[in-house]
């Protein structure tokens, strides 16, 4: 498997999109050490690779039937299933080893992380709550980043997890709007299918509101300054714009725009938080 096929398989840009999730946890835990940053980056990259590989091989037959996903490497025959399974297993082992290099708590929790990564793809086959299960999978990143530094569970990493869980669940609901017809035909579950478009949009808006509320509470509890709050204003604007896009008649074109602009949110939140903490560190 060459790098181009590998990057298409795991959507490497999505790994870059998710990386700030874990690093936010590191920042809110006080910054940690260089070793913390290195092993968190390796762990997150391995986890994303495992999760995407599991998803692609488990959903290969479904993806082949969906015009939106039929061009992915596995349905097109650019790569075989055995290779994808081996990639997923190798990535899981790297993830577990990286967690072991961080601290015992991260190591023990890494096995639960693998369980989440593997089971997510099956969830939409029997429950419309799959959006929230995906949010839970992604929420493990900031929680893990925080625990990588502290090695202790507290309220703050849980709050960081709520930010990501609600945000990703809302985004995934919007993303599912484009597949309503396909999901209904093939008996796949989603909130747009279960509730209809209008109500699903309402749930997505509520998820975004919860995520924003958790961001505000996090900022208040940790004494964040100007850069963090500016980032939140930008993110609130993006959330609102995404919800407006989702109401457009051409939902497939709107979904592309929603995903594209969504890629800005994590870097904006990370940079705002980093500038805030960097200012404190320089003063100290």
Q: In this predicted structure, what is the pLDDT of residue 280?
A: 67
Separation CA 118–CA 111 (nearest Å): 11
Q: In this predicted structure, what is the pLDDT of residue 230?
A: 96
Tell me the per-residue pLDDT of 23-56, one tens digit each, with 9 for 90 and over: 999 999 988 899 999 999 999 999 999 998 898 8
Walk me through the domains of the chain, giving residue ranges and CATH numbers.
Answer: 3-283 (1.10.357.140)
Q: In this predicted structure, what is the pLDDT of residue 198?
A: 92
Separation CA 143–CA 43 (nearest Å): 13
Tokens representing 113? Answer: 């992380």
Tokens representing 85? Answer: 């399974």
What pTM was computed for the model?
0.90
Q: In this predicted structure, what is the pLDDT of residue 171?
A: 95
DSSP the chain: --HHHHHHHHTHHHHHHHHHHHHHHHHHTT---HHHHHHHHHHHHHHHHHHHHHHHHHTHHHHHH-TTTTTSHHHHTSS-HHHHHHHHHHHHHHHHHHHHHH-HHHHHHHHHHHHHHHHHHHHTTT-TTHHHHHHHHHHHHHHHHHHHHH-S--HHHHHHHHHHHHHHHHHHHHHHGGGHHHHHHTT---HHHHH-HHHHHHHHHHHHHHHHHHHHHHHHHHT--HHHHHHHHHHHHHHHHHHHHTTSS-HHHHHHHHHHHHTTHHHHHHHHHHHHHHHHHHH-
Instruction: Please choose, from the candidates 261, 65, 254, 123, the residue with its C-alpha nearest in 3D space to the C-alpha of residue 177.
Output: 254
Tokens representing 68? Answer: 């939106």
Instruction: Please choose, from the candidates 212, 218, 213, 217, the residue with its C-alpha nearest in 3D space to the C-alpha of residue 239.
Output: 212
98, 39 contact by CB (below 8 A): yes
Separation CA 142–CA 144 (nearest Å): 5
Q: What is the mean pLDDT of the chain?
A: 88
Q: In this predicted structure, what is the pLDDT of residue 5?
A: 63
Full pLDDT tens readout for the chain, 284 residues: 655 665 666 666 666 777 888 999 999 998 889 999 999 999 999 999 999 889 888 887 887 777 777 777 777 777 888 888 999 999 999 999 999 999 999 999 999 999 999 998 888 888 888 999 999 999 999 999 999 999 988 999 999 999 999 999 999 999 999 888 887 887 888 899 999 989 999 999 999 999 999 999 999 999 998 899 999 999 999 999 999 999 998 888 888 899 889 989 999 999 999 998 886 666 55
């Amino acid at each position: 498997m060459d790098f181009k096929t590998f990057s298409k398989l795991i959507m490497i840009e999505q790994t870059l999109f998710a990386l700030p999730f874990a690093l936010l946890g590191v920042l809110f835990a006080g910054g940690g050490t260089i070793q913390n940053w290195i092993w968190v980056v390796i762990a997150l990259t391995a986890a994303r690779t495992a999760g995407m590989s599991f998803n692609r091989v488990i959903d290969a037959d479904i993806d082949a039937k969906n015009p939106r996903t039929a061009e992915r490497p596995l349905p097109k025959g650019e790569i075989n299933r055995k290779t994808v399974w081996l990639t997923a297993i190798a990535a899981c082992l790297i993830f577990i080893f990286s967690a072991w290099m961080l601290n015992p708590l991260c190591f023990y929790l890494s096995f639960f992380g693998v369980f989440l990564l593997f089971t997510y793809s099956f969830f939409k086959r029997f429950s419309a709550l799959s959006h929230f299960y995906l949010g839970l999978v992604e929420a493990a990143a900031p929680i893990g980043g925080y625990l990588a530094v502290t090695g202790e569970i507290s309220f703050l990493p849980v709050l960081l997890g709520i930010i990501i869980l609600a945000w990703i669940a809302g985004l995934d609901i919007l993303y599912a709007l484009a597949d309503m017809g396909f999901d209904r035909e093939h008996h796949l579950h989603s909130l747009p299918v279960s509730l209809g478009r209008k109500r699903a949009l309402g749930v997505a808006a509520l998820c975004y509101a919860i995520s924003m509320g958790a961001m505000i509470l996090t900022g208040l509890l940790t004494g964040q300054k100007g850069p963090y709050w500016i980032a939140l204003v930008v993110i609130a604007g993006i959330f609102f714009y995404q919800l407006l896009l989702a109401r457009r008649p051409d939902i497939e074109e709107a979904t592309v725009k929603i995903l594209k602009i969504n890629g800005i949110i994590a870097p904006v939140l990370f940079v705002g938080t980093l500038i805030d903490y960097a200012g404190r560190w320089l003063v100290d």
